[in-house]
Amino acid sequence: MLYGLTPFERSTYDLFNVFHEFEKDFFNTNSSRDLRSCKTDICDKGDKYVLEAELPGFEKDDINIDIKGDFLTLSASHKSEKEDKDKDGNYVCRERTFGSYQRRYDISNIDASAIEAEYKNGILTLDLPKKAKTEPESRRLEIK
């Protein structure tokens, strides 16, 4: 789908609607652009990879890191108990969205037993040590 790539997506031009579309695009309220994963940077440090994932607004207890086989799954979910409402029980203003994020990584060349994680200031940092390189076993067969 090429939504948002062509300037001719509207059938009529409405000067007042331009600002509404700008606000919608700026605040990402369009459900087709809903983000379901967190942004990550992965750096190769020689003997390990360092993965940094942006998870602003999450508490440490909201984040899960699961390893199954050769895959690491990073997931987090927002939950809020505070609600600002008027006397009729309606929201006066609610701009924040709540949801969950999930990302899956192939860790087949990582020593999964030595992975370390730290969460600080909205950034989750994972140290992913590489598996030690092993030389292929060689041997000479005896001829019978």
State the amino acid at position 47 in one-letter form: D
Give me the residue label for tokens 């087709």: 32
Lowest mean pLDDT among 80-84, 96-100, 117-121: 80-84
State the amino acid at position 66 in one-letter form: D
| Whole-prediction pTM | 0.60
From CA 44, how far away is CA 51, in angstroms rounded?
9
CATH of region 36-129, choose from 3.40.47.10, 2.60.120.260, 2.60.40.790, 1.10.10.10: 2.60.40.790
Please check the confidence at residue 73 and state whether its pLDDT lies above 90: yes
Please report the pLDDT score of residue 3 as a whole number: 37
pLDDT-derived band of residue 51, with 50, 70 and 90 as boundaries?
very high
**Residues above pLDDT 70, as percent of the chain:** 61
Contact 102, 112 (CB under 8 A): no
Closest listed residue to residue 105, CA positions, set 130, 138, 71: 71
Mean pLDDT in residue range 38-45: 90
The structural domains of the chain, with segments of one domain joined by +, span: 36-129
